[in-house]
Structure 1
């Protein structure tokens, strides 16, 4: 009897791997029945990861969107699943236990059946609590192995983690090949090892197309017992996204597997609707480079979704590096030469910071170390000169245990700075927070929402939720959209348009010197460029706001003046600015 393979449509991740925002609620409601009519999907990824956050940034209530999108699939018997980042839940930094536990109750009530729990370090301590909370809430916990290639990421390494997660109650295992660099042979052996030991455990494979290995990996995992394969549809399939369901179905059908047929009429309608959403507004935030596959990704192991933001970083850095080289009488570097240097530096840095799997946010951290090393090496200052608190947090163990050993030179640098390494369970460092958010909801007269979903939203994404409630998020999104449209048309945003969206009481942050802007590195590079803070971020008086690389090669810290809320960014990452230029606008907390 032929092995039955089910397909999942990763509709959320299709968008997140391509651009900045997600479809609106009305668009999701329109396409859901067509996806169902395609008849080939046993599962659909409906939410999670950055879904809720980016919808807030677009001025839309994500809870209503999740409920609306899940409902038709629930009624049709198609399982829905979401992505969550374990300790970080749906954001880029750690989440208190009480907020994480509430998430599963909310998501189950909203109609999400399965939660895909992963940790960027494969530290089971960051996953196991979520398995418990998901089961208590009535969800199916799918625990995840983040796949990468290194001397320590072996069959035994992954099998041991799977043992611990299954023992903790995981009912499914996902092989998350986030960069598409997982070697098919290893993935096949890993699938077999898990299935032989735990035949009842469902295995789902998730592989991005990036460097081109994922189709071979799909065939290998299916031959060795996988049950579900994540797929995409045009016009967002392939590139840095996922293989198209048509090709996957054809390959597996001809290999003798029992796979569902595809209603091609419905496929073409879903394809047309997705293109309509792109043309409507989402396409203005899609990086064209994300439609391309590249075997260069194999050499650095970075996720394909990072390439757009990484190239923007590199473009800005190239000018600075070449200015330094020019002063030394050395030949300037082309973009291709610098890209190769960056990939080589990533390969150098990665083992020395303990081989963290290159997935959000740790892929960004490793890339950032390498990027700044290129500059400081040219300046004769050596490596590891510019590493922010987030990077040090990963190195010191505050985010969990890195799989490998930290290099002696980095340990020595930490000692010089007075930093201490820790092996503490990361989630124990965070005090519960729901009571404080309840107090804020009560003071503002805000409703907790159905099944406490609005309380949870505030607790999970406080700054974005406040901006959503005030209406500022919608204004910012419309401003971004207008600028993107004008840029595509080769036009400039008028002074009147810019002024209309700028907060009336915001204060400018002015460059005290000329140079090049460098922002704090943060955010979800798989969803959007990760080099600028989000609109609405709060700053304390005198807190570091950004950095300017001066013409004499030093970084000058620019403070956030009197502090407040970021309402507009005028200088992009790597932009050249003159003394007196406005970098951004901040609204003071007491402004009305």
Structure 2
């Protein structure tokens, strides 16, 4: 029998996909010790959109969240998702920022760093993977799975060989849209097993309704690990349910998981109460829990679906949802067939929304799309046509080198810019990721600390007076 290892995603991708990453640290911490007793291979709890959401919407310090989770997870590895040279932001950063961010992430508790690039441009992953190994964590390199005339088994196999050659410790097939079918999953995993000597993890979403079959096909072909989410935050645009996959695998004669079902039930019961709260307040929309086989046609990732719907809801244009879904593959094709994963998913999705709402395609173009077309994010899978390029950036010069080669070291300058707020490397990195939002967060935190200190002094004085009286 072969053990299949499970990575639990509820603290990151589970709630990111279903409700735009709104779980709070206070909601997470009471259950961490129980999760630590389940026997997971890893708990994915950081990276992705968690950093942005924490400081932008929750007024929480993501670094503090990581440290608090680490205190309670004594036996289970903590995993994060990192966007290569983009880190957790939406632009490329200088190599010194990338290395510093990874060093501090590992120092504060991360054991496994899953590194991907939205374009599968290996040049954008090398610095991050090298830094992860330098600071002695596990470097998992990612194949962002997508479908196109050029994204075939040979393409992904060549990419996997290249990633093994630059030092990856394991590989993840990242199917962010839930479009990896069982047949292709089996063929792809088999090809990787023949050509690379690394553990293979498979990540998919339940959006299209085929995810459990995909996992079983991948496992039978030799996959070593899968990503799942505890039942209350599973299915729909999230991952398959942890409990369901564990039961199926443990009942088989070929595989086992070694997970504690009693602890899993306790974790599930805990998150079920939290889920009900978010359904009641509207943050978790039932639409995100639905199965949508049309995903196989539109190839839109789970997190992208919830964000697109939220954008349209804010604009009072929910009725345009289907039209936007149909526009996404058209925009993607015109922009060189990028995989729809952060930040490309947000960029392509936003452009699709603009095209539909304005009624004129490319009348409004975000700066990020202009920079991408210019080559500032890396090399597109296939060349962008001269017609589309001119429509978006005119006659601006296109970049052909590794984008980060054009960025001077940034950390010390950002530290100077931040001034008195630069109380730690983590504070500087928060500012680096999101200059406006990050600085506002740090200012609010400093103000709150001052008020807290004054209250402590006042309370201390009262206590002293009480003693002396």
Give your verdict on TM over 0.5. Answer: yes
Of 403, 423, 426 in structure 1, the residue corresponding to residue 400 of structure 2 is: 423
Instruction: Quickly say closer, same or farther: Cα 1:162–1:349, change in 2 above 3 A.
Output: same
Residue 149 of structure 1 and its aligned partner are, at CA, apart by 1.1
- Is the Cα contact below 8 Å between 1:49 and 1:91 reproduced in 2? no
Q: Distance in 2 between matches of 1:438 and 1:411?
A: 36
1:437 aligns with 2:414: yes
- Is the Cα contact below 8 Å between 2:19 and 2:306 reproduced in 1? no
Of 271, 287, 291 in structure 1, the residue corresponding to residue 285 of structure 2 is: 287
Instruction: Quickly say closer, same or farther: Cα 1:300–1:280, change in 2 above 3 A.
Output: closer
Instruction: Quickly say closer, same or farther: Cα 1:8–1:312, change in 2 above 3 A.
Output: closer
- Is the Cα contact below 8 Å between 1:118 and 1:144 reproduced in 2? yes
* Structure whose alpha-carbon radius of gyration is higher: 1
Match of 2:430 in 1: 457
Residue 279 of structure 1 and its aligned partner are, at CA, apart by 5.6
TM-score by length of 1: 0.70
Residue 87 of structure 1 and its aligned partner are, at CA, apart by 1.4
Name whichever structure is richer in helix by fraction: 2
- Is the Cα contact below 8 Å between 2:228 and 2:242 reproduced in 1? yes
Match of 1:369 in 2: 351
Residue 280 of structure 1 and its aligned partner are, at CA, apart by 6.1
- Is the Cα contact below 8 Å between 1:5 and 1:259 reproduced in 2? yes
**Residues 176-206 of structure 1, C-alpha deviation per residue, up to 9 Å, x if partnerless?**
000101122222222112212223x111111
Match of 1:393 in 2: 371
Residue 274 of structure 1 and its aligned partner are, at CA, apart by 2.0
1:150 aligns with 2:126: no
Instruction: Quickly say closer, same or farther: Cα 1:401–1:473, change in 2 above 3 A.
Output: farther
Of 324, 327, 346 in structure 2, the residue corresponding to residue 345 of structure 1 is: 327
Q: Distance in 1 between matches of 2:181 and 2:374?
A: 30
TM-score by length of 2: 0.87
Higher relative contact order (CA 8 A, sep 6+): 2
1:246 aligns with 2:243: yes
Match of 1:269 in 2: 266
Tell me the SS of whatever aligns to 1:100.
Answer: helix
Instruction: Quickly say closer, same or farther: Cα 1:453–1:125, change in 2 above 3 A.
Output: same
Aligned residues: 445
Instruction: Quickly say closer, same or farther: Cα 1:464–1:303, change in 2 above 3 A.
Output: same
1:191 aligns with 2:197: no
- The root-mean-square deviation of aligned C-alpha atoms, in Å, is 2.6
- Is the Cα contact below 8 Å between 1:299 and 1:343 reproduced in 2? no
Structure 1 regions of 5+ residues with no counterpart? 320-333, 476-592
**Residues 436-471 of structure 1, C-alpha deviation per residue, up to 9 Å, x if partnerless?**
232245x316522xxx33333333333333222332
**Residues 340-396 of structure 1, C-alpha deviation per residue, up to 9 Å, x if partnerless?**
5433333333222210001122123223333333456x5xx6x33322221122222
- Is the Cα contact below 8 Å between 1:235 and 1:274 reproduced in 2? yes
Instruction: Quickly say closer, same or farther: Cα 1:371–1:68, change in 2 above 3 A.
Output: closer
**Residues 210-240 of structure 1, C-alpha deviation per residue, up to 9 Å, x if partnerless?**
1112112111111111111101112111111
Residue 316 of structure 1 and its aligned partner are, at CA, apart by 7.5
- Is the Cα contact below 8 Å between 1:414 and 1:420 reproduced in 2? no
Name whichever structure is richer in strand by fraction: 1
Q: Distance in 2 between matches of 1:239 and 1:386?
A: 31
Residue 21 of structure 1 and its aligned partner are, at CA, apart by 4.2
Instruction: Quickly say closer, same or farther: Cα 1:152–1:317, change in 2 above 3 A.
Output: farther
Match of 1:236 in 2: 233
